[in-house]
Amino acid sequence: MMKYTENYGSAPLSRDTVAAIMWAGPVMLSPAAQVNEAIERVRQAGLPQPGMNSCYVVAEDGVLLGALSLRDLLLNGGGIQVGTIMTRPFVTVQPEDDQELAAQLMDEFDLLELPVVDSGNRLQGVVTADDAMSVLTEEATEDMEVMNAITPSERPYLETPAVRLFLSRIPWLLLLMLSAAFTGGIIAHFEDALAAQAALTAFIPMLMDTGGNCGSQSSVTVIRGLSLGQIRFGDWLKVVWKELRIGFLCALTLAAVNLFRLQLCGTPLDVAAVVSLALGVTVMIAKLIGCTLPVAAKKLGFDPAVMASPFITTLVDGVSLLAYFRLAVRLLEM
């Protein structure tokens, strides 16, 4: 039996525990019980919940030994001991684990029921697939909200008052607005350069947007991978190396297309070159920031989903404008 409590996606923002969704009172059998007795026990005791289709085999001290579905009971002869036909559960969770962990394990291993045990492996309850589905849906919604600068809420949109929705959005907007002021500060710092080359201003939106988009692509990929347990902290070097290569290909393509377009539009070659170079640098930086911050957040115990589009965009904006103006000042000899 394995216990999964580490290395799996468990977002600190969603500390809803397994205890809150597990069903207590599963039918427990001793390994020596015969199938006929087991069926009789199920008939007498019922099963605590429609979603439950298994009985559990436990030792005298309550330690979980295995599971039997009603299917197993029906398909086997009446005199067989349940201990000989039970399935040994290869994954279990504990009541204080995150619900998301339980749901992910059930998804990954195609389980309809997941036994919950205490630290001594004694059976405490069972999580059923119908509840796991709700958890998966809620957690995905929560991640999407956090990734778009919204404090998650479990209430459906149409039933939530406008003021509540406002309150779940405004703190993030304020924080990000004030952060963007720093980016503005960078522009103000290069005001003289901009005054000398007013045309440079027109490329700011393209640089900012492309940087933001490149960064969000990387961050959402890594955030989702972390959340599904497909990426672990130990993979960070592999992730960075992969994003560097993707970033290089993107930078090359975007810079080339941009240079070509600017030449078509009659932009002077030196300006076009500076803009394209700045674009390439921005793309590389954006991919790097986009893939490292979620992994770092995870390691530090924050919800990686916070490190998505809005946050990454704000950060990348500043870095890319800085690169842009520095390159312009240096290469255009302003």
| Residues in 194-223 that interact with its own copies by CB under 8 A | 194-195, 198-199, 201-206, 208-210, 212-214, 216-217, 219-222
Is 16 a binding residue for its own copies by CB under 8 A? The answer is no
| All residues at 6 or more sequence positions from 244 whose CB lies less than 8 Å from its CB, including other chains | 284, 287, 288
Binding positions for its own copies, 271-310, rule CB under 8 A = 309-310
Residue (120 or 157) nearer to its own copies, CB: 157
Neighbours of 288 (CB within 10 A): 19
**Of the two residues 121 and 142, which places its CB atom closer to its own copies in the complex?**
142
- Furthest-apart CA atoms within the chain: distance in Å: 93
Pairing of strands 54-58, 28-29: parallel
* Cβ closest to its own copies, residue 85 vs residue 204: 204
20 binds its own copies per the rule CB under 8 A: no
Alpha-carbon separation of residue 116 from 18, 22, 63, 220 (angstroms) = 8, 7, 11, 31
Tell me: does residue 7 bind its own copies (CB under 8 A).
no
Quote the least distance from Cβ 96 to its own copies, whole Å: 23
d(Cα 54, Cα 73) in Å, to the nearest integer?
A: 9
User: Nearest Cα to 106, choosing from 139, 140, 135?
Assistant: 135
165 lines the binding site for its own copies (CB under 8 A)? yes
Per DSSP (E only), the strands in 26-94 are: 28-29, 54-58, 64-69, 91-92
Does 172 bind its own copies (CB under 8 A)? Our answer is: yes
CB of 270 to its own copies, least distance (A): 17
Binding residues for its own copies restricted to 228-247, rule: CB under 8 A:
228, 230-231, 235, 238-239, 242, 245-246
Give the chain's radius of gyration (CA, Å).
28
Sign of the Cα torsion 9, 10, 14, 19 reads: positive
Is 183 a binding residue for its own copies by CB under 8 A? The answer is yes
Which residue in the set 112, 296, 331, 334 belongs to the binding site for its own copies (CB under 8 A)? 112
Q: At what angle do helices 99-108 and 129-147 cross, to 10 degrees?
A: 110
Spatial strand order of the sheet with 54-58 comes to: 28-29, 54-58, 64-69
Rounded least distance, CB 136 to its own copies, Å: 5
CB of 23 to its own copies, least distance (A): 12
Name which of 55 and 58 has its Cβ closer to its own copies. 55
Of residues 10 and 183, the one with the C-beta less far from its own copies: 183
Site for its own copies (CB under 8 A): which residue of 134, 260, 299, 330? 134
Residue written as tokens 């000899």?
Answer: 333
Name which of 73 and 121 has its Cβ closer to its own copies. 73
Which of 13, 19, 140, 327 touches its own copies by CB under 8 A? Answer: 140
Q: Which of 174, 169, 117, 119 is nearest to 148 (CA)?
A: 169
Site for its own copies in 246-265 (CB under 8 A): 246, 249-250, 253-254, 257-258, 261
| Binding positions for its own copies, 86-105, rule CB under 8 A | 103
Instruction: Compute φ and ψ for 177, nearest 5 degrees.
Output: -65, -45
Written as six digits, the tokens of 146 are 């956090």
